[in-house]
Amino acid sequence: MSEYTFLKGSKDWWRQAVVYQIYPRSFADHNGDGIGDLKGIIEKVDYLASLSIDAIWLSPFYPSELADGGYDVADYRDVDPRIGTLVEFDELVEKLHSKGIRVFVDIVPNHSSDQHVWFQEALRSPKGSKERARYIFRDGRGDNGELPPSELSSHFGPEGWTRVPDGQWYMHLFTKEQPDFDWSNREVHDEFLKTLKFWSDRGVDGFRIDVAHALVKQLEPLPTRSSYSLEVMKDDGTDQLFDRDEVHEIYREWRELFNQYDPPRVAVAEAWVHPHRRPAYATNDGLGQAFNFDLLTSAWESAAFQKVIDDNLAFADQTGSSTTWVMSNHDVIRHATRLVIPAGKEGVTFDAENHWYVNHRLDGDLDLAKGLARAKAATLLMLALPGSSYLYQGEELGLPDVTDIPSEQMQDPQWFRGEGKFKSRDGCRVPLPWSASGSSFGFGPGGSHLPQPKWYSRYAVEVQDGTPGSTLELYRSALALRRKLISGEKLSWLPSATGTLWFEREGGWSSITNFTDQEMELPPGELLIASEYISAGKLPANSTVWLKLS
């Protein structure tokens, strides 16, 4: 595997990187079967480079039965034949590297697919065998073991135990097609080290670790609730299922492997834990960085944003890491829509009955023009913050969520689990519009695995490319400018009117956001970029402006 010189000697490249998330099945489809593929991504490398991003993160592209959008992995060291081949993967990495774009892949260590060879072996093997010991198999309760081993719900379940033909049960925190590994088994550790080495050797620069806080579980007595909720999850490292202190031993071992590479491979934890427990996932002898999803759950309100920013910069300081910012991803309502959902229903909230964070259903009309203005303002604010920013494919087009996918075309297990009560995550996973017309708006020469609405046409890359004032050109300019402006990692607040937030970065530049629906005064300074058209010293409603300070 060729190593590019730019990748060497820059071990801190991730600290303020902009990472663009690709959901491979919905990005670009080369062969017209309606499913995005690696060749499709390869054809869009120039597009990616035109965004001035530092890295891409590929959501799972591994062989999968798609019980959970690919987060049910049947083989961690291969490419789903519907998506491509390992040879194409190598070609993609090489092309991206040649443009200075690094690559993250998604590692799903809490559970595999039930199609994984290990799980298939476990099913064929007897009770108590070493094949079963890689997962969590137990006998049931009741006279004939007909009751599950414990009363455990799962996130997309409803039940957290599923019975196999010989009468035993296996545990799964997500769908029944996603059996949980038993991380007290050394074999599981070795298998994942092998996987991490496999991708690192292929030139992968970083890893996004799925449900990083769930791997280690206390299984005696068996857990009786899946406490995904922060309200019930213990915050001292002794919860039965989540965020146990011992989980970090796993990541220390991974770090030793990462550090054998030049530059060291990096990782970011997806861990929905109590905020004060987050730094533990971001230590430099562990994964190094952790997501904070606080902007995802935050109302469009200056005080709320300010608190999130202060808290997360402080958390990052505790470990010497840098923080992460996310406005959209494949699990939540796109922010161009989310930011105009009525107060109290903004983002993902916890549903106690279903033990899962859910996207609220969007009933009634939303003011999408305001949503787009707020989304652009939020993004420009985010890109001015110290730390790394994660973008989700399509947000650079200002795409709203698709809210009217017919139920028979839904794919998300959250939809089926919630019996239609919640909004499905499919709405943010609809294949991208590349052109204004054509059978799948240029997604590919064929159809699209999730239906695209007619209005997608207006948001197409083709329509926005080179068009002054388009969301795409705003993203491009902002990202290119960010590269030039960013030096240190400090932020200092500047005094500004109620309903606005103004902060300065090293090098004498600043970002001011107006969260209100009224125009405000724009402070003096040279205008660097603005999310809306600026006239006569005014800061428009729902906008962000970067200013050079004199």
The minimum distance between CB 456 and ligand GLC, in angstroms, equals: 23
Phi first, then psi: what are they for 151, rounded to 5°?
-80, 85
Site string for ligand GLC, 158-177 (x = CB under 6 A): ----------------x---
- How is the beta sheet containing 55-58 ordered, strand by strand? 288-290, 266-269, 206-209, 102-107, 55-58, 18-22, 388-392, 324-326
71 binds, among Ca ion, ligand GLC, none (CB under 5 to 8 A by kind): ligand GLC
Nearer to ligand GLC, 39 or 172 (CB): 172
- For residue 282, the SS3 value is helix
Beta carbons of 75 and 63 less than 8 angstroms apart: yes
Residue 247 binds ligand GLC, judged by CB under 6 A:
no
Beta carbons of 497 and 473 less than 8 angstroms apart: no
Among 13, 71, 392, 475, interactor with ligand GLC by CB under 6 A: 71
Nearer to Ca ion, 387 or 433 (CB): 433
The minimum distance between CB 108 and ligand GLC, in angstroms, equals: 6
Amino acid identity of 393?
A: Q
Residue 76 binds ligand GLC, judged by CB under 6 A:
no
37 binds, among Ca ion, ligand GLC, none (CB under 5 to 8 A by kind): Ca ion
Residue 61 binds ligand GLC, judged by CB under 6 A:
no
Residue 33 binds Ca ion, judged by CB under 5 A:
yes
Residue 211 binds ligand GLC, judged by CB under 6 A:
yes
Nearer to Ca ion, 61 or 546 (CB): 61
Helix-helix angle 186-201:247-258, to 10 degrees: 30
Q: For ligand GLC, which stretch binds (CB under 6 A), given 38-46, 64-72, 197-205, 531-539?
A: 64-72
Count of residues near ligand GLC by CB under 6 A: 10
Residue 331 binds ligand GLC, judged by CB under 6 A:
yes
Residue 108 binds ligand GLC, judged by CB under 6 A:
yes
Whose CA is closest to 206, among 98, 96, 294? 96
Nearer to Ca ion, 24 or 347 (CB): 24
- Beta carbons within 10 angstroms of residue 262's beta carbon: 12
Beta carbons of 241 and 214 less than 8 angstroms apart: yes
The minimum distance between CB 62 and ligand GLC, in angstroms, equals: 12
Half-sphere exposure of 515 (CA within 13 A, CB side): 19
174 binds, among ligand GLC, Ca ion, none (CB under 5 to 8 A by kind): ligand GLC
Among 29, 106, 114, 270, interactor with Ca ion by CB under 5 A: 29
Beta carbons of 413 and 68 less than 8 angstroms apart: yes
Among 17, 19, 28, 35, interactor with Ca ion by CB under 5 A: 35
| Beta carbons within 8 Å of 451's beta carbon, 6+ residues apart | 402, 405, 406, 409, 430
The rounded distance, in Å, linking the Cα atoms of 249 and 141 is 33
Interacting residue ranges for ligand GLC, rule: CB under 6 A: 68-69, 71, 108, 174, 210-211, 270, 330-331
